[in-house]
Amino acid sequence: MDVTTDAGGPWLIVGLGNPGPDYAMNRHNVGFMVADLLAGRIGGKFKRAGKAQAQVVEGRIGPAGPVNRRVILAKPMSYMNLSGGPVNALRDFYKVPVGNVVAVHDELDIDYGTLRLKLGGGDNGHNGLKSITKAMGADYHRVRFGIGRPPGRMQVADFVLKDFSSAERKELDYFVDRAADAVECLVIEGLERAQSTYNS
């Protein structure tokens, strides 16, 4: 399996979340929010992707010329803990190397709104990442969007499936916008530049 990054090849950018209006504003769905914003930036609308259990938008990001990149934005419609099947099916269909896959997801161990970009690594208990890694290996990029730890004795599962608080929502648009910027920087300029700019 090809685990190298092919800068000129297509990129598969996957926002992780759960389908349906009941989950739309959950902390666990911040990956969907970033994917929706990126789709708006390239002027596309999500559509069902053939046999893959996902919605996709195809387009290009970056200025005209050698740094312009073909991207496939995807939102798995399988529920979070089964994300791997749809993601791997899309990767195969579009012939995307594993190193050109970017998963955008919520991260408990990072303060709210903080970003961390990396290539490979463990899943840190995140069921979406666990499913993707099982389906295609761990050598894909991650854009980790901090949501912080649950307060008091609240269970993690309850916390991630709750909507962002009213205080968090005041800054949510800004943070989602910044995460979308980070994805674009990663694809156009590479991981090191994106890390130096957006890892805080």
Residues marked as catalytic: 28
Angle (CA) 121-86-124 rounded to 5° is: 25
Three-state secondary structure of 100-149: HEEEEEEECCCCCCCEEEEECCCCCCCHHHHHHHHHHCCCCEEEEEECCC
Closest CA to 37 of 113, 95, 104: 104
DSSP string, 134-189: HHH-S-SEEEEEE--PPSTT--HHHHHTSBPPHHHHHHHHHHHHHHHHHHHHHHHH
Amino acid in position 139: D
Candidates 61, 2, 30; CA nearest to 189 is 61
Helix (H) or strand (E) holding 194, with range, is: helix 191-198
Cβ proximity of 145 and 200 under 8 Å = no
